[in-house]
């Protein structure tokens, strides 16, 4: 469960059992679907860039998507879509940046 006070939630490309989530471009796909949810709403051409509220990145060599709490404030259904994506695919979720992996 994600706290309502969390400013950023990291959806990691690792399942609860520690396996890498596939396909390898899942983070870009999820962020692409969410590109219309942005400050000021969708604009012409906004589908060509990621929303600042849902950004694909990599942390500790693991693909992930950073979902900002402003998305929840803007459209709770879009927020729920991201959180349910993580839940349905049994992905690890971290409130704030995940701790560095140990060597």
CATH number reported for the structural domain that contains residue 89 in this entry: 3.30.70.2340
Condensed to tens digits (0 to 9), the pLDDT of residues 37-50 reads: 998 877 776 667 89
- Specify whether the CB–CB gap between 61 and 50 falls below 8 A: no
Structural domain count of the chain: 1
In a domain, 37, yes or no: yes
Q: What is the DSSP string of 34-65?
A: GGG--TT---TTGGGS--TTEEEEEETTEEEE
- Strand (E) or helix (H) holding 22: none
pTM of the model: 0.86
Look at residue 100 and tell me whether its pLDDT is greater than 80: no
φ and ψ at 38, to 5 degrees?
A: -155, 165
- Strand (E) or helix (H) holding 103: none
Supply the range of the domain harboring residue 13: 8-95
């Amino acid at each position: 469960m994600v706290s309502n006070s969390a400013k950023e939630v990291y959806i990691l490309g690792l399942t609860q059992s520690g396996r890498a989530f596939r396909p390898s471009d899942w983070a870009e796909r999820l962020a692409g679907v969410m590109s219309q949810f942005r400050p000021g709403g969708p604009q012409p051409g906004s589908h060509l860039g990621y929303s600042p509220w849902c950004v694909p990145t990599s942390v500790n060599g693991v693909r992930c998507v950073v979902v900002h709490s402003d998305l929840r404030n803007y459209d709770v259904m879009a927020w729920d879509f991201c959180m349910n994506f993580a839940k349905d695919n049994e992905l690890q979720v971290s409130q704030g940046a995940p701790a560095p992996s140990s060597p």
